[in-house]
Chain A
Amino acid sequence: MINYIKKALSVSVSKDEEYRDIIRYEAKIGSTLFGKIPDKHHREFFCLDEHTWVWHEEWLDKFGRRQSITTRYEVRPHGIFKIQAKMPHRRLNDEELQNFYLAVKLYGQKVTKELQRLVAQS
């Protein structure tokens, strides 16, 4: 019984790890959708789940301190909302909405193609 649980847990952990690896991989692809990343910047853009998209950016400020900002985009039936720490939820403005639409479209094309390539390889 214990062996069975151990085995089940190890499979589950391994699946989670695999899942996390894929999201990391997607985030790297996502970061390339917005042109050149500035020096000392680290960017990630990925789909977290069916309703949530994440933009994460880290950079060094002029004092060499690490700064970061994480923006979560929530897709709701009546609109797309932007959520940042200590900020109220708000709808995307016109420009953001256009950019988000294009980014998601590109993400879909690039990431799906890449994942399908991985499926073909495995």
Chain B
Amino acid sequence: MKIFDNSSEVKLPRASMDVLPDRIGIVTRAVVMAEYVAKNEIKNRTVLNSRFMLDTKAPISFDDPVPTIEQSSNHIITQAIGNSAYNEPAMHNIVPDKQSLPVEDDDPMSLKNVRRLVENSFEDLEDKAA
């Protein structure tokens, strides 16, 4: 389909005041309409993409702050989809491995150990007093 001649020369149009204002109106309305629809669609898609984003590479941390409602819905969607496209397990399958959790007894400052220390020291004092 050939619409125009192929010359690179830009000629000034033979336009009169009858046609030019009309055309300016058409172009202005077309631009405003196209911008409005495109902008809206870009905005909608951004919201959709952020909702369905699968952030599979992010390290899983249990110290992260409590997620917002928006983040929670992402999380639920991620769980539901299961990241199968990335061949990775679904979030709901990833549970902390109990063996890899720190054993409380090994921590000298754990509540249990501190309480034991205090109790022992009281017992020692009582023994000495007796």
Residues of chain A with a CB closer than 8 A to B18's CB: 15, 18
Chain B: number of interface residues, binned into ranges: 35 or more
* Chain B interface mostly: helix
Across chains A and B, the number of contacting residue pairs, with CB separation under 8 Å, is 125
* Residue of A24, A50, A78 with most partner-chain B CB within 10 A: A50
A-side contacts of B116, CB under 8 Å: none
Counting CB contacts under 8 A, is A5 at the interface?
Answer: no
Find out whether the CB atom of B11 lies under 8 angstroms from the CB atom of A25: yes
Mark A47-80 against chain B: 1 for CB-CB distance below 8 A, else 0.
1011101101010000000001010010111111
Question: Which of B6, B30, B38 lies in contact with A80, CB distance below 8 A?
Answer: B38
Contact size range, A: 35 or more
Query: What 1/0 mask marks residues of chain A from 17 to 29 whose CB sits below 8 Å from any chain B CB?
Result: 1110110111111
At the interface, yes or no: B69 with Cβ under 8 Å from chain A? no
Report B's interface with A, CB cutoff 8 A: 1-4, 6, 8, 10-21, 23-24, 26-35, 37-39, 41-42, 45
